[in-house]
């Protein structure tokens, strides 16, 4: 049977290559130019022999281009972050949050702007304030300060007040959904909302309506949370510049808030919302959280549904919360994690969190070689390492795998070029705000020339990286890294490991600095508990930008 199939295949190839089915379009010169990009050198005979096949491929491509593929259609090839032999956690424990019964309504109502989710939740549960009152309070702050920060794309006021009224009715009836009951929040405007535009921060899509609610939003509202705003993002998830300008850092409004979860970090930092949802592909939660002084969680890849979210890189995109405190991360993550029956990249893994975990036996690594370098946050990070030692943790020096991660970072750009192919093909990329050489228009164009073989082999190297990272993580429970120095940020986005980023000081110009804790795959519970232990021993997260206190 195999022999017959082989003969049929050879006959088919003969017919194709000896006919004029595909008129010649690819020239010898085309092939020679392409060789330079892929680092190969074919002979004249080899070039001549492949011309007919290349013409056939071109004809295939032309047909494929006629198939409509919107951004929501994923590739059939799914990224797997699991190392060989990895055993999924299966034990499901009761989640235990801190006790917030100490909290009372402040004499100055403006102080509510910087209360944590847990504190606000206690005020609502005990009827010291209604969800409607709290929602109106934050909507007014959004209206007041957005002209300064440019952090809001769309206010969802009507939807918010409707949800808040519903939550107040349930409280009156004795029904309480949990810590997010009646709590206002915002989302990065790459998450779809059926009642409002979903712009992706882009001039091209500023009038786009996606008639569905993203899974993350649906889950938060089911838990009682109140959507108040769709927040700014760097156009198509790059930077802090969008079609309405540059999102500002509340600590220095002459500067941007970094990206791409620009509005989410800016709004939370300025006390315009208790928490917001951001996304990260390569630093888009870590970076804005750093400069804005917020606390962020980038979950394990495959933890949070991306249904209804703009795709930038199917194998790297992750959705997570940006909050005021570490425990707030757990409160939100507890609700948004898990399978939704649609996103096929999701894993069903328990989230176990206890604020009072016994952490004394944890093995904590740190990237000594990176911390020993001279970089912007070196002094703040050095103090932080000393603080951890004071708390009784023995820090173990560790090294990351020696894999050239920067040289395979084109994985992200290649997937982005596929996600936004129509933008390039239609020339609508000319409408994007940033038109400098190192911006989306040029990146999307240039990456079209990445050969499929190179993309696949880069992912094979990524497979090796995943195995080597697992060898490291078997020796420790988590490790500490500078937020920006070295390869850690890109490397762990490629492997899918979770991280918590939190403020650890201030730079000379008065803007915040941060530190990053990286955990084992699917071990967000212990990671958050450890980060809370450090945060409780400091007060950086309790400091707020002065111009937004009232």
Mention every residue, 6+ apart, whose C-beta is less than 8 A from residue 162: none
Q: In the structure encoding, which two tokens stand for residue 427, read together?
A: 């020339």
Kindly report the three-state secondary structure assignment for every residue of 292-340. Answer: HCCEEEECCCCCECCCCECCCCCCCCEEEEEECCHHHHHHHHHHHECCC
**What span, in angstroms and rounded, lies between the C-alpha atoms of 489 and 485?**
8
| 416 part of the active site | no
Per-residue DSSP letter, 214: -
User: Which candidate, 273, 291, 277, places its Cα nearest to that of 548?
Assistant: 273
User: Which candidate, 285, 265, 283, 262, places its Cα nearest to that of 275?
Assistant: 265
Q: Which of 130, 131, 257, 260 is catalytic?
A: 260
Torsion angle (degrees, nearest 10) of CA 17, 21, 25, 27: 20
At residue 30, the 3 state secondary structure works out as helix
| 260 part of the active site | yes
Per-residue DSSP letter, 274: S
- Give kind and range of the element (H or E) at residue 124: helix 117-125
- Are the CB atoms for 347 and 303 separated by under 8 Å? yes
- CA pseudo-torsion sign 230, 235, 241, 245: negative
Q: Which of 130, 131, 188, 483 is catalytic?
A: 188
Q: Which of 131, 266, 284, 483 is catalytic?
A: 284
Burial of 538 (0-12, 13-18, 19+ CB in 10 A): middle
| 258 part of the active site | no
Q: In the structure encoding, which two tokens stand for residue 143, read together?
A: 């209206």
Whose structure tokens read 């059926």?
Answer: 194
Task: Show which residues are catalytic.
Answer: 188, 260, 284
């Amino acid at each position: 049977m195999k022999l017959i199939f082989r003969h049929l295949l050879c006959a088919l190839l003969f017919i194709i290559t000896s006919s004029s089915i595909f008129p010649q379009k690819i020239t010898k010169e085309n092939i020679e130019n392409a060789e330079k990009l892929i680092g190969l050198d074919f002979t004249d005979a080899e070039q001549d022999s492949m011309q007919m096949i290349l013409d056939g491929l071109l004809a295939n491509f032309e047909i494929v281009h006629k198939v409509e593929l919107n951004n929501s259609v994923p590739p059939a090839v799914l990224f797997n972050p699991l190392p060989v032999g990895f055993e999924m956690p299966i034990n499901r424990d009761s989640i235990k949050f801190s006790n917030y019964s100490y909290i009372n309504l402040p004499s100055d109502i403006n102080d509510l702007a910087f209360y944590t989710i847990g504190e606000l939740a206690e005020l609502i549960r005990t009827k010291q304030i209604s969800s409607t009152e709290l929602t109106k309070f934050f909507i007014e702050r959004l209206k007041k300060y957005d002209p300064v920060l440019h952090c809001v794309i769309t206010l969802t006021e009507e939807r918010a007040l409707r949800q808040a009224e519903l939550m107040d009715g349930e409280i009156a009836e004795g029904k309480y959904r949990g810590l997010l009951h009646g709590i206002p929040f915002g989302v990065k405007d790459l998450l779809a909302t059926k009642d409002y535009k979903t712009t992706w921060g882009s001039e091209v899509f500023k009038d786009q309506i996606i008639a569905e609610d993203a899974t993350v939003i649906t889950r938060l509202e089911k838990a009682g949370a109140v959507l108040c705003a769709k927040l700014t993002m760097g156009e198509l998830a790059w930077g802090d510049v969008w079609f309405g300008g540059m999102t500002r850092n509340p600590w220095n409004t002459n500067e941007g808030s970094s990206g791409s979860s620009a509005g989410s970090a800016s709004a939370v930092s300025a006390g315009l919302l208790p928490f917001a949802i951001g996304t990260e592909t390569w630093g888009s939660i870590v970076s804005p959280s750093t400069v804005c002084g917020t606390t962020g969680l980038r979950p394990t890849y495959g933890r949070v549904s991306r249904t209804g979210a703009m795709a930038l890189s199917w194998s790297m995109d992750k959705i997570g919360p940006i909050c005021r405190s570490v425990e707030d991360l757990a409160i939100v993550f507890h609700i948004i994690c898990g399978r939704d029956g649609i996103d096929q990249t999701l894993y069903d893994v328990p989230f176990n969190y206890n604020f009072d975990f016994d952490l004394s036996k944890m093995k904590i690594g740190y990237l000594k070689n990176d911390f020993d370098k001279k970089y912007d946050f070196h002094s703040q990070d050095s103090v932080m390492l000393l603080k951890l030692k004071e708390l009784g943790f023995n820090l173990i020096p560790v090294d990351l795998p020696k894999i050239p991660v920067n040289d395979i970072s084109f994985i992200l750009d290649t997937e982005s070029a596929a996600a936004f192919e129509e933008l390039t093909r239609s020339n609508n990329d000319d409408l994007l705000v940033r038109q400098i050489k190192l911006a989306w228009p040029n990146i999307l164009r240039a990456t079209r020339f990445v050969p499929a073989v190179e993309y696949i082999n880069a992912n094979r190297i990524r497979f090796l990286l995943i195995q080597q990272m697992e060898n490291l993580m078997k020796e420790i429970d988590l490790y500490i890294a500078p937020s920006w120095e070295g390869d850690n940020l890109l490397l762990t986005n490629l492997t899918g490991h979770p991280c918590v980023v939190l403020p650890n000081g201030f730079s000379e110009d008065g803007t915040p600095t941060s530190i990053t804790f990286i955990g084992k795959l699917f071990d967000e519970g212990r990671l958050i508990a450890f980060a809370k232990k450090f945060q409780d021993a400091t007060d950086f997260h309790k400091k707020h930008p002065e111009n937004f206190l009232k």
